Amino acid sequence: MRPEVCNGKPCMSETSVDVATIVGTLGTGKSFEEIEEMFQVSREQILTALRYASYVTDHLPLQMPPSGSAQKTE
């Protein structure tokens, strides 16, 4: 990740397409083939983006809400 490429966001090597764009576009229902064509990336780059997103979300620290912020139900 470099600040001058994609504002420092993780992106596909040799491109300026960031991981979030790839994953988000998949989330809208676009096919792998459509994404390959839209962003000029390979299937392997798409799979790498998914693996990276999975790794990052799996390793995020657990954040507990501040004490006293839980809503009471009655």
pLDDT in tens, the chain (74 residues): 445 555 556 666 677 788 899 999 999 999 999 999 999 999 999 999 999 899 888 877 767 777 765 555 55
pTM, two decimals, is 0.69
pLDDT of residue 73: 54
Q: Quick count: other Cβ atoms within 10 Å of Cβ 8? A: 11
pLDDT of residue 16: 73
What lies within 8 Å, CB to CB, of 35 at 6+ separation is: 22, 25, 26, 41, 46
Q: Phi/psi class of residue 5: alpha, beta or left (left: φ > 0; alpha: ψ in -120 to 50)?
A: beta
